[in-house]
Amino acid sequence: MKKKIVGLAMVGLVGFAAVQFTSCSGCQQAKTEQPSMDAKKDSMDQARVEQLKKIFFNIPSPVEMASLIKDQGYTYDKKMLNAVENVDKYMGEVQQAVNLGIYGADLSYASIFDQKQESMTYFAAAKKLASAMAIDGGINDSTITKLAEYQDNRDSVLKIVTGAYADLNGYLKENNRIEVSALVISGGWLEALHLCLQYAEKPNSDLIRQRIGEQKMVLESLLKYYESFDNKPALAEMKADLLEIQKELNKVEITAGKTTVSKAKDGVMTIGNGSKATVKDDTLKALNVLVKKIRSKYVA
């Protein structure tokens, strides 16, 4: 065992030198390349598998919820968002991370509705939080400059915003701050749900209600992801809040058939199981009250 570890250390030393070498300035090409180190598989496998579970996770983007709101013909409402003036109030990593996610969802909403100035303001608030949390990825001055440059092109703005948040999550995951990334994602999900709930009370909101009901599936994935962290204290409060929301969402009835795969006229593969989520009025009302209560605790 000792020999194996020493052997591993040698591999590690060579690999570390290689990484340092490829990270040097003026080696741009090398930096974009993969470290071609070899390593012998050993008992660390299980730990790596557990680590992969923490990295590989996906829920739909808040942008998708925001675009549904716009597609249904509803108008932008600034009052629904977390005011950017609150940004200086947030202390402590948990509150900062959750609000970084909340501002991300608000930013997506503003961008979808082509609110140029609002998008810039929300991005600046997100940048302020990211800096306070010493996160050096995605959301920085150069992205703000790029955003200003492309502010007249909504698709470019969306690309910059989603790319910045993906890079931020990548930075967190690669710097052993995966719990912070989970909180950012949770904050974004909570805010997107909050926004949809506000529109669900308006007329002709069947599709919005359906999307809210479908969050039962999304939350299931999110909570499954939380399980991979065991009982990390930083995630305890949010996990308890998500479990509260799950109690309400479990009242949503989702019916589905067998999955079918077919080819559409344009040649695109189409997948579906005919699922339908039914949300009763009282469930929707209770969910709205609960989400408002939980959200206000974080944004206050």
Residue 142 Cβ vs another protein, minimum distance, rounded to whole Å: 13
Dist CA 230 CA 215 (whole Å) = 23
191 Cβ contact list (under 8 Å, min separation 6): 62, 82, 101, 102, 104, 105, 106, 295
Based on the shown chain and the rule CB under 8 A, indicate whether residue 185 belongs to the binding site for another protein: yes
**Binding residue for another protein (CB under 8 A) from 24, 27, 35, 148?**
35
Which residues from 84-123 bind another protein, rule CB under 8 A?
A: 104
Residue 121 Cβ vs another protein, minimum distance, rounded to whole Å: 19
Based on the shown chain and the rule CB under 8 A, indicate whether residue 273 belongs to the binding site for another protein: yes
> Which amino acid type is present at position 282?
D
Dist CA 177 CA 53 (whole Å) = 14
Which residues from 216-235 bind another protein, rule CB under 8 A?
A: 217-218, 220-221, 224
Based on the shown chain and the rule CB under 8 A, indicate whether residue 134 belongs to the binding site for another protein: no
**Binding residue for another protein (CB under 8 A) from 139, 158, 192, 208?**
158
β strands within 79-220, DSSP E: none
Residue 164 Cβ vs another protein, minimum distance, rounded to whole Å: 9
Residue 276 Cβ vs another protein, minimum distance, rounded to whole Å: 7
Based on the shown chain and the rule CB under 8 A, indicate whether residue 142 belongs to the binding site for another protein: no
**Binding residue for another protein (CB under 8 A) from 15, 76, 228, 234?**
15
Rg (CA), the chain: 22
Dist CA 224 CA 202 (whole Å) = 32
Dist CA 33 CA 198 (whole Å) = 46
Based on the shown chain and the rule CB under 8 A, indicate whether residue 261 belongs to the binding site for another protein: yes
**Look-up of token digits 């974004």:** 188
**Binding residue for another protein (CB under 8 A) from 80, 120, 146, 159?**
159
Number of residues that bind another protein (CB under 8 A): 84
Based on the shown chain and the rule CB under 8 A, indicate whether residue 41 belongs to the binding site for another protein: yes
Dist CA 297 CA 291 (whole Å) = 10
SS3 218: helix
**Binding residue for another protein (CB under 8 A) from 176, 204, 250, 278?**
176
Dist CA 49 CA 238 (whole Å) = 25
Tokens of 70: 């716009």
Based on the shown chain and the rule CB under 8 A, indicate whether residue 205 belongs to the binding site for another protein: no
Based on the shown chain and the rule CB under 8 A, indicate whether residue 24 belongs to the binding site for another protein: no
Q: Which is nearer to another protein, 6 or 134 (CB)?
A: 6
Q: Find the angle CA(189)-CA(68)-CA(200) to the nearest 5 degrees.
A: 75
**Binding residue for another protein (CB under 8 A) from 84, 140, 150, 167?**
167
